[in-house]
Amino acid sequence: MASDDRPPLLKADEEDTVSGNAPETGGPEFMVRAEGVHKSFGRLEVLKGIDLEVRPGEVMCVIGPSGSGKSTFLRCINHLEKINGGRLWVNGSLVGYRQRGDRLYEMREREVAEQRRDIGMVFQRFNLFPHMTALGNVMEAPVQVKGLPKAQVRERAIALLERVGLGDKMDAYPAQLSGGQQQRVAIARALAMEPALMLFDEPTSALDPELVGEVLEVMKQLAVDGMTMIVVTHEIGFAREVGDSLVFMDGGVVVEHGRPRDVIENPQHPRTQDFLSKVL
């Protein structure tokens, strides 16, 4: 079903920043690799064998109708959901399991938490901590999880908030911010852990149309800086402009996968054609 086109490795003009992103060990060839990933909720099979690869520095956009399993797949990548079948690697290591011989050993909660540190996630509903200021939200994980000194984290957090254009909103509580501003704080919060991979779960779906642009702009900048990103989105324009690859999912399988321009302008599968004709 999936098209055989592999996504382009990198955009030529980004080669430099991206190579800086790879681990010193030479690094794994793929940032994310999924092999026949299955996921069921009770008797409902949501993912029916997903095979995907994301290279370091790649921006992969995932589109598809609701219920197609795209958000579930994203949540499997940082083990918010346990997969029932197949294999999933991030940065060269198996997610949630350790393999010795042919045997899989479930990881302890603490070990899974350690794996998640390298994966940032941005949610549709922002999920900022409402009892902390913007700055407090960004500082929370580096201080509490990595145990870094507060002064140092503070400096970095301020820089991050300035980077997402919220230098003047440090001391505001989430309730005092617009949706777009909240989502930008959420992006800064995820970046504060210096992740190797960023997952975006419909980051603009809960926003007023007017506010979508400011969030996409921040994400675009992130892509230019060489971050590896998987973006579940309905923003076809963003996928076309910023994405290196585009995946169309439906019914728990990858229907089409290729360069964004190819998939959008020349979809091969009738299901893709149908979907795109409705959203474009």
Q: Contact residues for another protein (CB under 8 A)?
A: 78, 80, 109-110, 113-117, 119-121, 123, 125, 127-132, 140-141, 144-145, 173-175, 186, 189-190, 193
CA dist., res. 101 & res. 197, Å (int): 28
CB 78, min distance to another protein, A: 6
How many CB atoms lie under 10 A from the CB of residue 279? Answer: 11
Return the number of the residue (7 or 174) whose C-beta is nearest another protein. 174
Return the number of the residue (186 or 255) whose C-beta is nearest another protein. 186
Return the number of the residue (40 or 115) whose C-beta is nearest another protein. 115
Return the number of the residue (141 or 253) whose C-beta is nearest another protein. 141
Containing H/E element for 228? strand 228-232
Q: Say if CB 52 and CB 69 are below 8 A apart.
A: no
144 HSE (CA, 13 A, CB side): 8
CB 182, min distance to another protein, A: 12
CB 191, min distance to another protein, A: 11
The radius of gyration of the chain's CA atoms, rounded to the nearest angstrom, is 19
Return the number of the residue (114 or 210) whose C-beta is nearest another protein. 114
Q: Say if CB 279 and CB 61 are below 8 A apart.
A: no
Q: Would you call 203 helix, strand, or coil by DSSP?
A: coil
CB 20, min distance to another protein, A: 23
CB 211, min distance to another protein, A: 19
Read off the DSSP letter of residue 280: -
